[in-house]
Structure 1
Amino acid sequence: MPMLRRKILIFLLLLGALPAARAQGPAAGRTFTNPLKANGPDPWVVRHGGYYYYTNTMGKNLTLWKSKTLEGIKDAPGAVVWTPPAAGPNSYEIWAPELHFLSGKWYLYYTATDKANFSDQTRYVFVLENASPDPTAGTWVDKGKINTRYSGLDGSVFEHGGRRYFLYSAYVGAQSVLAIAPMANPWTLDASKETIIARPTYAWEKGGGRQILEGPEFLAGRRGQLFVVYSASACWDDNYCLGLLTARPGADPLRADSWTKAPQPVFHPSAANGVWGTGHNGFTTSPDGRENWLIYHAKAAADGKCEGRSARAQRFGWNPDGTPNFGAPAALATPQAVPSGE
């Protein structure tokens, strides 16, 4: 009889522990809704050292937000880490910042132009360096203009096969094209090897009266492929969307013929969900590394304006062939489980 009572007691204890065990799962039942930032054009987020570091275009400075959770970006205090000089080549229209941790230091890449002579022809990518473990603290040192062959915007960095590469949107004639170059260090390119890898060719890349490919971001495929996800058309075009370039496993990223372009957008507006102008994306992962997340901006009105862009996040999956499956942009009111491991 004592043995039977003991078994019953153990069973009841295990039964009572089940809800607690479930609560310790990936999302623990918590959800959030977009946006991460109501005013969040050109969002970027990187996860490092147990924190999410977020930034977006502010226009007049570079601001970073730091949060333990992705949804916490909403209420995290912003730290202005750099303001432009009163005059000079990087004094105006501070756009599209990206934060990267390279060789033990932080680097902030951003687009800017000259207040006294602002135009696409004087717009370039610049970079700052910070040796502090926390990019919201320490001192940011100006490392100058990235030595790209063309004027342009939306610089990004990725590492592959032991080499570091720089991607950007270059102004070439009437078009904005995508170009890549190897990096000698985080602020210097081997510009002699810069290569244009994509030009606007499809109708969906020529919306808003412009021919634009911009905001290129690297993504490693599940089957060894290399991907570049980019934004197509002008930012004021309501059908602003994401396109995809693919390089086969083992291909040289510096060869234009290594890359093939998907004939249709891989992420585009949804009238049913009230989401327009989907673009300028970035990628991050959940704390446990099990989930991939897409960060992007979008607007709630099909108004033909490059305004009202909020920063949003949603998880994405993979197709059987190893290509990303971003799905449809979620409506703002859609509850989403928080990243697994939070």
Structure 2
Amino acid sequence: MTYTTNDNITLLRSHVLTDWKSADSKLLFQPPQGTNYSTNLWAPELHYIDSNWYVIFTADPNGDSPPPEVDMNCDWSCPAVHHRIYVLEGPGSDPWTATFTLKAQLNTYDQFAIDGTYFQHSTGLYHIYSCWHRQYDGWPANLCITKMSNPWAVSSNFSERQILSVPSNPWEQTPYSRSFNIRLSSNEGPEQLTNPKTGQNFIIYSAARSDNRNYCLGQLELVGDDPMNVQDWRKKNEGCVFYQNALEDAYGVGHASFTSSPDKSEDWIVYHGMRNPTNGWSARTIRAQKFTWNADGTPNFPRPGYGPYTVPSGQH
């Protein structure tokens, strides 16, 4: 597992999916000073594609503090205006022993880009990430998709970039159902989830503000054949599919990833949340819970909590 440390890319390794307190830790990548990717390394993800490991992550050059000459172009204050997406490559079958080097910066058309992920489909490889409509929008943050020629190169031009989702629902806005002002309304943290039995493809994404109690997960389903066609996606507008559980003091649950038990009989969601919603990002901890599937093939997520939970089937 990997997660935001802010200063570098760190890899964790645990024998048990439900216990990360005693995990091994390894520095995977330390950026040099004075580059466009030296500070605020966010949302790293580890992917195995075409027999190599790739880490896709977000970073910026200057501590996320644009000068006034840049900030004044935005309707609101726009920290993260210089954040972009980068890719590390680690050859080999074992990410723990692989040597990772910077492969490329992904083309996001010199615009704000965070929380990049890969979407693998029969028609090819795609990059889905959190984006603005324009360079200096500031907000809202949306979900964009582009086509890739390989894990480190985008083949779509700017006119081909598609916006799949915008935070138009009350539960995607911060504070909840803000009646004016779209500042901090967000769709971010997209992750591919595939139903192993039906083959249905979903994007489970994070909505609202990431350091807020209302942070939750939303759902897009690919109901057509072309991931680049907005009409081929169906958004679940009724509400979050995974959200805070105040009775268990489980707040701000978001930016999930998905895996299966060692014997492949169970599906698991790994996510972050916080017990104290007033302490923001510093209050996050790692959680893992089993989930199931509904009769229509959509994911059926549990209420978030703290367990203790039974370890995944086949894990010792």
- Taking structure 1 as the reference length, the TM-score comes to 0.80
What SS does the aligned partner of 2:231 have? helix
Q: Does 1:104 align with 2:77?
A: no
- Does 1 or 2 have the higher relative contact order (CA < 8 Å, sep 6+)? 1
Q: Find the aligned partners of 2:217 and 2:59 in 1 and give their Cα distance.
A: 23
What SS does the aligned partner of 1:175 have? coil
Residue identity opposite 1:188 in structure 2: A
Query: Which residue matches 1:261?
Result: 235
Which structure carries more helix by proportion? 1
Q: Does 1:94 align with 2:41?
A: yes
Q: Find the aligned partners of 1:283 and 1:202 in 2 and give their Cα distance.
A: 25
Q: How far does residue 304 in structure 1 lie from its aligned partner after superposition?
A: 6.2
Q: Find the aligned partners of 2:147 and 2:24 in 1 and give their Cα distance.
A: 36
What SS does the aligned partner of 1:125 have? strand
Alignment partner of 1:183 out of 138, 148, 171:
148
Query: Which residue matches 1:232?
Result: 207
2:18–2:309 contact (8 Å) kept in structure 1? no
Q: Where in structure 2 are there 5+ consecutive unaligned residues? A: 66-78, 176-182
- Taking structure 2 as the reference length, the TM-score comes to 0.86
1:120–1:171 contact (8 Å) kept in structure 2? no
What SS does the aligned partner of 1:306 have? helix
Query: Which residue matches 2:185?
Result: 211
- The alignment-based identity, stated in percent, is 36
Alignment partner of 2:118 out of 138, 157, 180:
157
Which structure would you say has the larger Rg? 1
What SS does the aligned partner of 2:171 have? helix
Q: How many residues align?
A: 286
Alignment partner of 2:278 out of 300, 303, 313:
303
Q: How far does residue 67 in structure 1 lie from its aligned partner after superposition?
A: 3.0
Residue identity opposite 1:99 in structure 2: L
2:18–2:311 contact (8 Å) kept in structure 1? yes
1:215–1:231 contact (8 Å) kept in structure 2? yes
Alignment partner of 1:125 out of 85, 90, 93:
85
Aligned CA-pair RMSD:
1.6
Q: Where in structure 1 are there 5+ consecutive unaligned residues? A: 1-53
Query: Which residue matches 1:77?
Result: 24
Query: Which residue matches 2:163?
Result: 196
Bigger shift: residues 266-275 or 214-223: 214-223
Q: Does 1:340 align with 2:294?
A: no
Alignment partner of 1:171 out of 119, 128, 132:
132
Residue-by-residue CA offset, 1:191-219 (whole Å, 9 max, x unaligned): 22321100110111111451100000111
Bigger shift: residues 264-273 or 209-218: 209-218
2:293–2:300 contact (8 Å) kept in structure 1? yes
The 5-angstrom pairing of residues 318-337 of structure 1 reads: 318-330=293-305, 332=306, 334-337=307-310
Residue-by-residue CA offset, 1:33-71 (whole Å, 9 max, x unaligned): xxxxxxxxxxxxxxxxxxxxx111101111101233314
